[in-house]
Structure 1
């Protein structure tokens, strides 16, 4: 006998037995899924038939010592190969779905087989922070794949807890816009809304009159003194908010600019002082505000969604109008949850219609029972949200092109914003502030005894916040189109199938047990040496459900823009100015316009004339830029910021188009600039086609400015004084 012959015989015998044992199982699996002729897996079936024509000769069974159950696998040098098994298409021998690859063809005749090959959406939650618990629940409901410790391979969605720069990403989608944190700070938001108030004062009367401290303290004191002199019975109250404050930190009320606390604020940090709303709507004699969740799905084109439900946060002391005696009662005047939770009167409730935190829908139901027109309330709130976002988007575009320049790889962005709104006694909504990072916690700490705290579930928070995160992910689903192709009816409107959280959960202990399990899973370390699964490997996670959203309720986010774009597009004048500003920035990644870029803007738009020389343009640039740079804290870049450019644009519009309201002056100048730029781009395009050196690509802006009409003739406009005066640049 040749050396190694016994091992060969044993190996061949083992192979024959394995084939014989696998054939009945494979035949049963094929019968179960009813494989059609020509389906995937046919090449493997032919290989089996050919091997059957030339069977392997049977070998005697191995002795007990060399039983196949304990026989080591043959060495690689031996020419022994196992025949392929005929299995159901798209399945491994273990019955799990196969990933895409050269050895797995998708059957065009079986939609279920196609869906099994679709991988789940991947979400990197390593930077989620306080929103982690709600995010985990959302991912689990969607049957997606979470990577709590990050992943070396790119993920589809990255969930950041603070800002766009929480981690360096170059693909996929991230739930933060660059610059959003800076844009919704008290001072920046007030300036953005103030610009819109100068253009459309009647449309932006939902924001309290504001002054920026310390820059405008003298103006604030002078205006208050002037009004009091004209109306001695006027007894105003003002609220002071630190620029970078959050959770009610540093907020206090004053009755007069001479208040000694205001002097201390001027020395410490910038702040905003606003008129205090003295007549709010009360429920159960308590003041409350509304936290609404708004999804900014896209910046260009602009796409806005509003959650159908929000949170109502109540004060914990009965409300009285401000007097010198009760100005310090923060539990009476400030609705911040982070403050009132420390009040002894704070009421935790699992009901959505009682307690110190309730759902907004429960408030609307109560108002409706009293005859209030709820549709009018919602309409006013939607209008407030759209107008506020329109005020924020111009500078957000500048931030966006700075961090993600056009033509360079980068992620797409979306963001959930928290709008804090107060209803006045007459049901008019007032914007208090906008939060870039609204709290998504679904539990809070309760002090059981001094120094001893316990995590207590908040069923009201979970009811609202999980739905917002889950449906935001559904709207941003990068594989949604593929699923729609497989299941055309999956996006049809569905009735809610998930019962309310209050019905599904009871006991707080069960909730706390789940939270502790989530945290323990978060702290577990990945197995040593385990590689990140590839996207094709993730297809194994499918549980065979043909429609993963079949069990979910209808989406709780309602689109309001571009749905109502026709009603609000006329307000987007500053947005069109931002497009001009970005065009002339020159260097990619910068946020300020240099003197050369400003002169190029004047020349290309043909704004210079005998009354406005280029020397006057240079003086205008230096004067406005110097003043704005002295008011901003960021001195890293020199040049003209967007708000300074807007002021210069207003000045030019007032000079060129007189005797018109400011918004018509600005609109006319924008039309003129877009008209000249479109002619210039057409000329460059023709030069490029003819082989001569060309310039930048044709001008493209928002849809309403894509094809600008001929500019209005200056002779058709009557001269008059301008609405907005600039003392340093009076109209000529």
Structure 2
């Protein structure tokens, strides 16, 4: 009988991950009882060392890709977005507020500040964020530069002062994004994210009131109105994304176009670093994209979070995060072969690195019988199409179905029998049979929807020797343009009916 899958956690956390994996029949790594390499998943909240990528064995996975700091650190994200605006045009990369990195950009910031004061008057607001802090710490908002004082490296952004409000309360969206691979780029967005509210009503005349302007739970859970039953929002400061979709439906919003624009933000942001991230097939990464929607329903990228929090502060957290982690494990595609790691290690006595941090290709070394068998299994699988955990076709609402259909159109034909035969059985606490219904939509894994690649052209662009960013951008513009045109036609029809 094969050994159980084994997980290894940094500093014994996060607790939610441990709970989910133990429920699924995994075992926790014990360094006193196991060989150093005898684990399947190593999860850390901080970055791995280059040597840890280099020494990966075929059955091991890490929860971070190398060199993703280019989007998760505020100043790096600002530089990369600025570079892409200069390369492909500002009209496409217009989803991030104007940003300056201080002290280096202070002269540029001062020039922009003075220009806007002359052309638009004093009602221009700015937000200052320290580079190396999280959870809303050290953030402040200002209008007059006389009140702007900083004592460390910071970024200063134009403050989006016209946010969409719900009953007067500001909110943002925490979008969970899984990048399964950078080579080829393969991206999934989880459909059940979080909506995070400020706990006091939005008020530009009170810029110092963080409970009115910041949506960070770490701040608002200490606010005086956190537990209060707030109009429409309710107690606490979070909704599930399902509840937010219900709200959008009540407002007669074209959700398909909105979610497409959010998906574009995710893809375009990842494109800024994708060509420079080394290939590491045994890695998967969960990012937290923070998105603000303004009164015109335009989404804005606020930041990208490395190791988004998995703590459970409220019922919405429990609903969203437990399912998120379970779906993420399914997305990692653990198979029967992964549970044979101990036998393979002891029997072969041979160690092959899976990744060379200084190269973008795997090192060529002699394969063992075990590795040859595993590689044959991998090569027979259709790329980027994951094994579903569900036994039957997932039930999704109409807007989700339309969203999925756009991405599923023109994908290469799939032989499900080959995929299932190649991948063996699912390692899970519940014994299941895989349904081979050819109507099953393989771009769904639980609540994860694959948003890239989304058609044949982007699939080819991502599989080329070097990611073809130009083609990807053209396809994104084409798809979004089609949705925008359709939205305009719907509105014109409604106006005529009135």
Does the pair score TM above 0.5?
yes
**Structure 2 CA distance for aligned equivalents of residues 215 and 489 of structure 1:** 48
Q: Is the 8 A contact 1:123 1:147 kept in 2?
A: yes
**Structure 1 CA distance for aligned equivalents of residues 80 and 266 of structure 2:** 14
Cross-structure match for 1:235: 123
1:701 aligned to 430, 443, 466, which one? 466
Q: 1:436–1:542: structure 2 CA closer, same or farther, 3 Å change rule?
A: closer
Cross-structure match for 2:325: 469
Q: How much has 1:166 moved relative to structure 2?
A: 10
Q: How does 1:424-573 map to 2 (within 5 A)?
A: 424-443=294-313, 458-479=314-335, 493-495=392-394, 545-547=431-433, 555-564=446-455, 566=457
1:257 aligned to 145, 154, 168, which one? 145
**1:165 matched to 2:49:** yes
Q: How does 1:249-398 map to 2 (within 5 A)?
A: 249-259=137-147, 261-262=148-149, 265=150, 268-320=151-203, 322-323=204-205, 326-347=206-227, 354-355=234-235, 356-395=237-276, 397=277
**Structure 2 CA distance for aligned equivalents of residues 229 and 348 of structure 1:** 42
**1:224 matched to 2:113:** yes
Select the structure of larger CA radius of gyration: 1
2:289 aligned to 400, 419, 434, which one? 419
Q: Is the 8 A contact 1:381 1:429 kept in 2?
A: yes
**Structure 2 CA distance for aligned equivalents of residues 311 and 422 of structure 1:** 12
Q: Is the 8 A contact 1:130 1:440 kept in 2?
A: no
Q: Is the 8 A contact 2:220 2:226 kept in 1?
A: yes
**Structure 2 CA distance for aligned equivalents of residues 437 and 157 of structure 1:** 15
Q: 1:480–1:561: structure 2 CA closer, same or farther, 3 Å change rule?
A: farther
**Structure 2 CA distance for aligned equivalents of residues 353 and 225 of structure 1:** 38
The secondary structure found in structure 1 opposite 2:207 is coil
Q: How does 1:665-704 map to 2 (within 5 A)?
A: 700-702=465-467
1:196 aligned to 78, 84, 93, which one? 84
Q: 1:543–1:189: structure 2 CA closer, same or farther, 3 Å change rule?
A: closer
**Structure 2 CA distance for aligned equivalents of residues 569 and 235 of structure 1:** 47
The secondary structure found in structure 1 opposite 2:116 is helix
The secondary structure found in structure 1 opposite 2:133 is coil
Higher relative contact order (CA 8 A, sep 6+): 2
Q: 1:234–1:564: structure 2 CA closer, same or farther, 3 Å change rule?
A: farther
Cross-structure match for 1:608: none
TM-score (norm 1): 0.47
Q: Is the 8 A contact 1:240 1:251 kept in 2?
A: yes
- 1:680-714 Cα shifts (integer Å, max 9, x gaps): xxxxxxxxxxxxxxxxxxxx4347899xxxxxxxx
Q: 1:145–1:269: structure 2 CA closer, same or farther, 3 Å change rule?
A: same
Q: How much has 1:195 moved relative to structure 2?
A: 1.0
Q: Is the 8 A contact 2:275 2:466 kept in 1?
A: no
Deviates more, 1:198-207 or 1:474-483: 474-483
**Structure 1 CA distance for aligned equivalents of residues 430 and 142 of structure 2:** 63
The secondary structure found in structure 2 opposite 1:389 is helix
**Structure 2 CA distance for aligned equivalents of residues 228 and 147 of structure 1:** 59
**Structure 2 CA distance for aligned equivalents of residues 369 and 248 of structure 1:** 31
**Structure 2 CA distance for aligned equivalents of residues 385 and 310 of structure 1:** 14
The secondary structure found in structure 1 opposite 2:163 is coil
The secondary structure found in structure 1 opposite 2:334 is coil
CA RMSD of aligned residues (A): 3.6
Q: Is the 8 A contact 2:71 2:269 kept in 1?
A: no
**Structure 1 CA distance for aligned equivalents of residues 467 and 302 of structure 2:** 29
2:103 aligned to 192, 197, 214, which one? 214
The secondary structure found in structure 1 opposite 2:46 is coil
The secondary structure found in structure 2 opposite 1:371 is coil
Q: How much has 1:178 moved relative to structure 2?
A: 2.1
**Structure 2 CA distance for aligned equivalents of residues 218 and 703 of structure 1:** 36
The secondary structure found in structure 1 opposite 2:273 is helix
**Structure 1 CA distance for aligned equivalents of residues 178 and 80 of structure 2:** 19
**Structure 2 CA distance for aligned equivalents of residues 543 and 227 of structure 1:** 60
**Structure 1 CA distance for aligned equivalents of residues 456 and 216 of structure 2:** 33
Q: How much has 1:442 moved relative to structure 2?
A: 1.8
Q: Is the 8 A contact 1:129 1:161 kept in 2?
A: no
- 1:278-298 Cα shifts (integer Å, max 9, x gaps): 110111210011111000110
